Chains A and B, each alone.
Chain A
Amino acid sequence: DGGITQSPKYLFRKEGQNVTLSCEQNLNHDAMYWYRQDPGQGLRLIYYSQIVNDFQKGDIAEGYSVSREKKESFPLTVTSAQKNPTAFYLCASSGRDGSSYNEQFFGPGTRLTVL
């Protein structure tokens, strides 16, 4: 079964702690993305990666960090510098036909709550 997995589904963190959200895909996609979604709002881009060992900041990268050491994995770390981390986090990936990117495939999301 091809797809994107995110773990855990629910995550609780104490203030001041770093936490890492997992995202794995077996679709052989080059590009991967992290979004944040707040209640009643759309998606905001945190980081994206077009290729292994390369990634770029999105619109709201402050307080977050990522790595892309393997094509299939794109973990997101929410650091203590992120002032309001409670949100729903979505990971996505996208493949290419030549120079054109196809649609994004999304994982089921991780709901992070800071206590």
Chain B
Amino acid sequence: AQSVTQLDSHVSVSEGTPVLLRCNYSSSYSPSLFWYVQHPNKGLQLLLKYTSAATLVKGINGFEAEFKKSETSFHLTKPSAHMSDAAEYFCVVSQTLGGNQFYFGTGTSLTVIP
């Protein structure tokens, strides 16, 4: 069975400080993992994805995530927050073999304080 837990529903950081959004997953098979960002009243945009290649994945807008199988984690980080990073972030897992369903975390709302 697949599931995703986003450990924080809200995260606040000051502009210019690091961002850490935490995600743990459960998967019976080798998972594909994704992080999406959603700005208010918009669709979801893919930030980055892990599909069993390099465990450290670099995405758009300076975000990156590290796949840690031993910890079943896929935390999202950014060295320095920008005001435009304020949004909702979703961690998603899917199966890599024959899978066609995507399992969403409940989301983390990121606030960036000027």
Q: Is the interface of A mostly helix, strand, loop or mixed?
A: strand
Contact A101 B94 (CB under 8 A): yes
CA of A108 to CA of B41 in the docked complex: distance in angstroms? 8
A105 to chain B, nearest CB (A): 8
Q: Contacts A31-B100, A42-B107, A104-B102 given: A88-B41 contact, CB under 8 Å?
A: yes
Give the B interface residue count (CB, 8 A): 25
A-B contacts, CB under 8 A, total:
57
Q: Say which size band chain A's interface belongs to.
A: 20 to 34
Q: Is the CB of A108 within 8 A of B96?
A: no
Contact A100 B96 (CB under 8 A): yes
Question: In chain A, what residue has the closest Cβ to B34?
Answer: A103
- Contact, CB under 8 Å: A107 / B43: yes
Task: Show the binding face of B for A, using Cβ within 8 Å.
Answer: 32, 34, 36, 41-46, 49, 51, 90, 92, 94, 96-102, 104-107
